Structure 1
Amino acid sequence: MGYFDDDGFLDEHIIKDRSVLKPEHKPEKLEERDEELEDYVKLLRPLLKGWDLDNIFLYGHSGVGKTVATRTLLPDLRDKAEDQSIDVDILEINCSSANTSYQSTIELINEARNPEYPLTTLNLDKSELSKTGYPAEQVYEELFDDLHEGAENIILVLDEVNTLGSDSELLYQLTRAQTMHKLEAELCIIGISNDFNFRDDLPARVKDTLCETELHFPAYEQSDLISILSRRAEQAFYEGTSENGVIELSAALASRDRGSARQAIRLLRKAAELAENEAVETEDTDCIEERHVRNAEDIIERKQVTTGIRKLTSHRKYVLLATTNLSAQGKTPAQTRDIYEYYKSVAEEFGRDPLTRRGAHEHLLEMCDNGILKNVNRDQRGRGRPNKYKLDTPLETVIDALEQEEDGEIGDLDNLREQANKQTTLTE
């Protein structure tokens, strides 16, 4: 008998169409974002009259529809522009994979030459650049040469632009391209940021030339998430296979955290998979129950954190290691300045030049978005309370994940375990 000869899995149990619960599924209409889409359209439609666009910066936590809205509207805008004999090219990258202006510029060049992102329309017949080895001036010249081969209107989408931190050279070069006669095309920058204060810390010379319009995407309310999940569930599950309260609990857990639709959908999908496997193996389960949602939450959180930590970039890893050290000593929640001082010694210990405090703070913010850290004063910002950070997952889990990180740079952390045991913080 083969491993797959038991055909009980092929019977109809709970899940009818799993694809509508996948992250890449694109609904026919962006859900619960009518007001934001209407405002976004107003910012983009001047292009259809041949007018140049203001730069646009979208702000909001991850999973609230910023990228989906952009990927929904820009192809439609380009089609309508072509009807008006207005040529438009789009170039999309995610800055988090680069973290610096230099690397992001090379990413833009290579995206124009070998497109990978769904919005990109440029596709130049050129060889890609290696990620290092070129003077910065040459890299920017290559970028403008490539953009010169594009349409008369170019839209650059810089997702997670906040990961550039205080390294704003790319933005400065782009905003001065026409003034310095490096680019003839009309250029619009669409920056997508998870950090609401990203602009505040940009140098004055960049702020002065950016001239952007801001559009904010608030976290989804619980009622919004219930509507989104209900529509997905109608397509994904057989009728009567979701217990009353499952949708509401999934929405409540997601709204309690960051109000992320992506997170809510992922939670419902994992709960459905757990229930489906039970239904195949036993006749006692015939629907998704609240216990499946609770179990799914635990599984997702553990997997997200451990996977996320193992794949951290070097300096983000050092920032986390500094926070973990402070946690093991019982000194968290800790202010940014205290974590930064510890981080500098960690970076130097590994033979690296530390980032600026602003750069290190960007990593703290990103790890809060990823559920690794928590800003305990997040809701009191602007009320005289400093940012204070602590681990948002058990210390033992973080230590284990750091020991198993992909580069193998950290190594054994038994000294941290001993220190934590003395402070009785290891299981907190």
Structure 2
Amino acid sequence: MLSPEDAWSAIATEAETLGIEQVSRAAAVGRVLAEDLTATVDVPAHDVSAMDGFALGGDVDAGTVLPVDGIVAAGDPPGAELRPGAALRIMTGAPAPAGADRVIPIEQTEFGAAAAGTGTVRIVETVPAGSHIRRQAEVTAAGGPLLAVGELLTPGGAGVLATHGIHEAPVYRRPTVATLSTGDEIVPAEAEPGPGQLRDSHRDFLRAALSQLGIEARSLGIARDDPVELRAKVERGLDSDVLLISGGVSMGEFDFVEQVLGDTGLGCRFLFDAVAIQPGKPLVAARHDRGWVFGLPGNPASAMVTYWLLVRPLLRRMTGLADGFWQGALRGRLKGGLPFAKGRDRFLPCRLEFSSGEVLVDPRPPLGSHDLVAYGAGAGLVRVPKFSAPAAVGESCEVLPL
């Protein structure tokens, strides 16, 4: 049985990004760039004013009154000229006139009719040369670097692409994921369960969790506890990049997932079949020539924990993001005590508060690995290392926000 770190190492060794696809700017938001992007234009395209005010040429003492020869607005073509000893009214974003070496903000002047580009302006406070002028190409230069491979495109990044007339972006393809629930006792969430039956919570949990990554899950429904039916559905799922099977991976008489995946005709190669965590010990990970298969535990909380700790980091890696087991965990301070752990690391649901620069962790100890409510309401997982003693209120802990 592997430690969670070793289980992740076995996964990470074989984790790879998928192919590259071109998508629209809007569709690229939240995706990872697969290639470097180059600036197509200078930004700014020419020297422009950074303030509403007056363009000046050379040093001007406070109290000086200058004639105003006109006005330059944003959108005007470059080419205006400032004659010596005069000023030009100028707007933010307007091209700096030839002969101007600074812009004085309007708040540092007394201007009267000069606001309309006529009359005179009195300088109240001086500004040094270069003030409030944005230089051509100071943000980006045409042909220079714009956005780098591996960057997550944000809404702001979409604006950058629009500025440069880039309508599509190369991004890593998101994995296709199929989900399959198992068990004679499982019925669809929309159905009314009979005696001894349970609604399928796994499908909706996985569908929602995958949607957070921008992945639309394909449901294969529910497979009964029959190896022939299970194999048929598994074969359908193997055309996806990742197949997530829930249930049927423990030691029961009707747990057939490992048996089916071990059939030589499916071409699966096991990485591991158990991880030293609680909940979530019976986790199966396998590879085949087209992708990945995970057999998640049937207990809902166990399925959640194994997904958060080991499956989600893989999916993020496949889309080009840097991630790993327990990556993104924070140090926090306990608002409630933690129980001891025996031979496996425990991961308990908790609520989080962010106060005065620290993370306050309020553990919500579950009734067991079947306690979907406790884990479903948790905002994070707090780690209780194996063989650790109970922890008291105020002690430090590690927590992974979800």
What's the TM-score once normalised by structure 2's chain length?
0.26
Q: Which has the higher strand share?
A: 2
What's the TM-score once normalised by structure 1's chain length?
0.25
